[in-house]
């Protein structure tokens, strides 16, 4: 890579702001700041997507790495706590289940809890699977409590995405990141096909050694300039449109996201301290844009506070997330729809992976680093993709052409194998470096209507009394713990109430 002379340090140039850009800048300056000069360029004329408002628990680890105080962050972003996602009308109409962040039941070294629960179902002594999970039962009761790193609950956040980007922007600039507000007019390449500089509309060209593409769906650097191809997954994930709007807050303040399926996709509700975030995801092949707008408007839980925004996308990934001297992070590297709130997580993982494989940027010998980065990114995205496809494909809904198509579509072999293993034998595995755990796969497959036909014989070794007592004890302990938790809204008022709310 060609080096620049800025303070005799390698120059990392981040193209684009928003959550992806400012998360990248904040992490790099915090963990590698003394080694680098970091510049972020964003245009005031290009709005951020700003709808990634639901997160998953690994974001807490990212915040700990950056030394972010939780209560301060939550006040600044009007955040609430999140214990999982409630899915309505996915398996079939009028069904509901919660995919929580918690561990369900107590496993043995020989078999996961679900095998003992399945034996209990067969003997008629088991309660609902979710009743053995603290986070799930706390979510249903609108309860929450944390004492910081020693929290009894595994949780994430709902947050204001625009405020989150501003929060990280302040942190990054105070730590030494150079901020340029300007429009990128041209991406210039050198003779070797690397990015040489970014030509700006009103400022001098910005040269760099490593460029980070955080330009969103447009993918100005890795897609447009470096011509890295895009692998389209729309034959598995049909939805290609989304509408989004903010509405007035509706009580109670739920500690979970709500995802409700409709005839051609699904819609979300995300409670913040000061408002609701709402979205309507659909496939334009099965629902006309004007009809989608009408359906979404009629389904809103409260009065709109903003104009409805129209978003268009194709699910898939760049064949390379790191090519030449450019790394794509966020939407520029690929997109898997937000059903399981993975957007910010993929940004975090892209940043973390880059920092762990960070090159000595004065060297041109980075191909092996690029290959490893791209291989890890590919596997991670494909496993998340499979988990999302599961929600669509495993359904008994046949009331619309969309759901009939989801049932009948061919799915990746990797997902077919997982479904068959669970359906036939009750096994769900978390593979190496995989995001979603055994509990996640089990909760969603059960919630979508798959009941294992057989299960581990270890469960059959328990007598009726032993199995009944064990299951009742587990359920009773969960009930006792939930009863002791404070109300979610009351806890937020005490712990991290934002100044711009009436909580």
Residues 86-97 pLDDT 10s: 999 999 999 999
Q: What pLDDT is stored for residue 51 in this prediction?
A: 62
**DSSP letter for each residue of 155-184:** -EEE--HHHHHHHHHHHHHHTT-EEEE--E
Helix (H) or strand (E) holding 260: strand 257-262
Q: With contact defined as beta carbons under 8 Å apart, do 469 and 127 qualify?
A: no
Rounded-to-integer distance, Cα 37 and Cα 14, Å? 11
User: Could you tell me the pLDDT band of residue 3, with boundaries at 50, 70 and 90?
Assistant: very low
- How many CB atoms lie under 10 A from the CB of residue 417? 11
pLDDT score, position 50: 54
In the chain, ranges of CATH 3.50.50.60 domains: 6-53+160-233+315-383
Please give the torsion angle defined by the CA atoms of residues 26, 27, 32 and 37, in that order, rounded to the nearest 10 degrees: -40
* Residues 229-247 pLDDT 10s: 999 999 999 999 999 999 9
| pLDDT interval class at 46 (50, 70, 90) | low
| 472-497 confidence digits (pLDDT tens) | 999 999 999 999 999 999 999 999 99
Is 79 a residue whose pLDDT tops 50?
yes
| Token pair belonging to 258 | 């709500």
**What is the three-class DSSP state of 426?**
coil
For residue 198, what pLDDT is reported? 98
Residues forming the active site: 82
* Backbone CA torsion sign across 305, 307, 308, 313: negative
Mean pLDDT for the stretch of residues 287-313 = 96
Alpha carbons 395 and 95: distance in angstroms, whole number: 11
Closest CA to 350 of 376, 329, 364: 329
CATH number of the structural domain 6-53+160-233+315-383: 3.50.50.60
Half-sphere exposure of 284 (CA within 13 A, CB side): 12
Q: Cβ–Cβ contacts within 10 Å for residue 106, how many?
A: 13
Q: Give me the pLDDT at residue 431, please.
A: 84
- What's the DSSP call for residue 456? -
pLDDT tens per residue across span 108-138: 889 999 999 999 999 999 999 999 999 999 9
């Amino acid at each position: 890579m060609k080096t620049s002379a800025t303070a005799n340090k390698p120059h990392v140039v981040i193209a684009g702001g928003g959550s992806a850009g400012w998360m990248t800048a904040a992490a790099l300056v915090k963990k590698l700041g003394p080694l680098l000069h970091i510049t972020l360029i964003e245009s005031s004329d290009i709005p951020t997507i700003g709808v990634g408002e639901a997160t998953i628990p690994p974001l807490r680890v990212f915040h700990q790495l950056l030394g972010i105080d939780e209560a301060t962050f939550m006040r600044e972003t009007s955040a609430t706590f999140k214990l999982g996602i409630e899915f309505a009308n996915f398996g079939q109409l009028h069904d509901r289940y919660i995919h929580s962040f918690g561990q369900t039941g107590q496993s043995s070294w020989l078999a996961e809890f679900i095998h003992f629960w399945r034996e209990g179902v067969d003997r008629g002594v088991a309660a609902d699977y979710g009743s053995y999970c603290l986070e799930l039962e706390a979510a249903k009761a609108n309860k929450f409590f944390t004492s910081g790193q020693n929290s009894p609950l595994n949780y994430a956040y709902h947050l204001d995405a625009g405020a989150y980007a501003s929060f990280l922007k302040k942190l990054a600039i105070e730590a030494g990141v150079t901020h340029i507000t300007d429009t990128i007019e041209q991406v210039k390449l050198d003779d070797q096909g690397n990015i040489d500089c970014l030509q700006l509309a009103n400022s001098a060209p910005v040269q760099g050694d490593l460029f980070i593409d955080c330009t969103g769906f447009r993918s100005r650097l890795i897609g447009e300039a470096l011509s890295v191809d895009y692998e389209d997954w729309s034959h598995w994930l049909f939805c290609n449109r989304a509408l989004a709007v903010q509405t007035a807050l509706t009580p109670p303040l739920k500690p979970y996201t709500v995802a409700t399926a409709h005839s051609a996709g699904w819609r979300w509700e995300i409670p913040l301290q000061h408002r609701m975030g709402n979205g309507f995801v659909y496939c334009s092949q099965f629902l006309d844009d004007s009809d989608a707008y009408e359906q979404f408007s009629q389904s809103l839980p409260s009065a709109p506070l903003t104009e409805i925004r129209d978003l268009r996308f194709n699910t898939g990934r760049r064949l390379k997330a790191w090519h030449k001297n450019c790394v794509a992070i966020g939407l520029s590297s690929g997109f898997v729809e937000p059903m399981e709130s993975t957007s910010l997580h993929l940004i975090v993982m892209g940043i973390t992976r880059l920092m762990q494989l960070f090159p000595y940027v004065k060297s041109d010998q980075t191909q092996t680093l690029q290959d490893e980065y791209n291989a890890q990114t590919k596997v991670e995205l494909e496993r998340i993709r499979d988990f999302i496809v599961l929600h669509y494909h495993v359904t008994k809904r046949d009331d619309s052409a969309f759901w009939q198509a989801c049932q009948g579509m061919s799915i990746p072999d990797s997902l077919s194998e997982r479904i068959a293993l669970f359906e036939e034998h009750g096994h769900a595995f978390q593979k190496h470096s995989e995001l979603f755990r055994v509990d996640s796969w089990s909760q969603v497959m059960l919630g979508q209507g798959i009941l294992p036909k057989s299960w581990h014989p270890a469960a059959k070794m328990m007598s009726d009394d032993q199995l009944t007592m064990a299951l009742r004890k587990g359920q009773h302990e969960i009930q006792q713990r939930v009863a002791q938790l404070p109300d979610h809204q009351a806890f937020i008022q005490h712990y991290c109430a934002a100044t711009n709310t009436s909580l």
